A and B are shown apart, each in its own frame.
Chain A
Amino acid sequence: MKKDQGCLGSRGACKAEKGLWVMKHIAIGILGAAALGFTASAASAGTLDTVKQKGFIQCGVSTGLAGFSAPDDKGEWQGIDADFCRAVAAAVFGDGTKVKFTPLSAKERFTALQSGEVDILSRNTTWTINRDTALGLNFVGTTYYDGQGFMINAKKLPGVNSALQLSGAAVCVQTGTTTELNLADYFKSNKMEYNPVVFEKLEEVNAAYDAGRCDVYTTDQSGLYGIRLTLGSPADHVVLPEIISKEPLGPAVRQGDDQWYHIVKWTYFALLDAEELGITKANVDEMKNSDNPEIKRVLGQEADTKIGTDLGVSNDWVVNIVKAVGNYGEVFERNVGSGSPLKIARGINALWTKGGLQYAPPIR
């Protein structure tokens, strides 16, 4: 249960959530029981048909997480998660604006998907087996590989460039979270000592770290970059390369509707394939005339192609996706990378050809 705070830098189940643990598990029990009935009825309706009929996609996003889904000055949702929903809308309607966003709290998100309130849950949600099975969701892939990381105050810990050098450090962490447990495991398994400085609220952790009460701050790595922006002297703080937990974040749909599942899944793959083939928002129209057969195939320019229609969308679906949001790399750089204040490096989110984990099956 990470990734759920509606605050800058996200993170960590807070204590209140711990209190809701019992209630949530009761809810999950009922959910599980109810899931069959709901998915059956939802499947019979066919999400694609329903979506086409109402003319827009209802997309569940977070209540505010920098770089993933946060409102801009005009109140439009921006971020990787928001753009992913725009990409699906572009694939289905040829228009990336035909999407409506529903901000969902961590407690509501699964019910909202189950009950049909949203068509896609694109809300920095960690992919786990429990959610894939017991909760009746289908995760379509990992749009962002996240994990718990460390940020250190380089002034107080000069020369440290690996988490393995942190023995004896004072570590700020939010209590009652999996972050706290991962931290304990990591230091124990590496036979290192540390002084935990625990707080209940994220704001308190930020303030304590900024005031120098601890040398190290640990939470999900994507969140560390957001937190760094709110520190008095960000240049003094360094995010270490180690990631000590797996937090694959991705969009999910309801179980029992394979067509919709495939559309959402292949939208994700199309974003990756477009990047791999060098198709960008700027050059997509030229690329349609490319001699490269693979590019032609992906962009639906092959004679008698049925790739798009077999999926249930138009044959120029990839063109529409790229025109609406760009390829995966563009989405990443614009929202969390060099084009955003967060300046997160691609790291393991780079394409497989560049040493990262993002890999998509071919569109053919």
Chain B
Amino acid sequence: MENIIEIKSLKKKYDDKFELGKIDIAIPKGVIVGLIGENGAGKTTLIKSMLNIIKIDSGEIKIFGKDYKKEEKTIKEDIGVVLDNMFFPELLNAKDINNSMKDIYINWDSKLYFSYLKEFSLPDNKPLKSMSKGMRKKLEIATALAHKPKLLILDEPTSGLDPVVRNEVLDIFLKFIEDEEHSIILSTHITSDLEHIADEIIFIDKGKKVLQKSRDEIIDNYGILKCDIDYFSNIDKKDIIAYKKTKYAYEILVNDKEQASKKYHSCVIDKITLEDLMVLVIKGEKVC
């Protein structure tokens, strides 16, 4: 399968001691990739590097097989963007945005844009400053889609949206990748969204990629082994990815729950959610 994004040995250092890297990522066509990690883990830095908003210190980023140094314009014609902070001038209205954008993107489709506005019940003549945060987010998503991009790069696109609209938006994302040519990379705190739509999960912690796996692989294979305090010493250290001690038991993250359930009969194994995974990896203790 052809890769839509290829990142090799990416490094980016900020003055305040935060460092991203070395990061290698390959994202194929036709998938939704979810970027997870706690605040300050480096998700936004990674996304900003992919969009050339910040300059990377070293490494290589290729999008659609093209390099920013040579073909920035062609790359960006095909990317739809939503950033974590709101970014449209708040004095403008949705019509004004159409007026400007139609002269910015070659493939801008005003009809499509207004049909999204209708779908999201957004007014086209009210200034943005009178809109709610959720409405502005929806407007940003509509704008990101209206030039028919091949790739969506979205930083927290569903934050601030109510569950009904969030589901609408997620459906639009699923429709977007249907033709197997399009891809989406999105970061989010709402990990349950990713359990619904993501094909792959990339987990960033303290500027490093700690995991990139398909969602099914994580949900099917990873699990939380629960055992009482006395039994903990019987568990093979190799099987423990991370663990957390609660009042009466240990919760242990394992990456092969079938094997673990055979090995440790007296323990219960729970299904894992992405949230559990995140919390255990970030906050849990490791046996090294």
A binds B: no
A residues with CB within 8 A of B: none
B residues with CB within 8 A of A: none
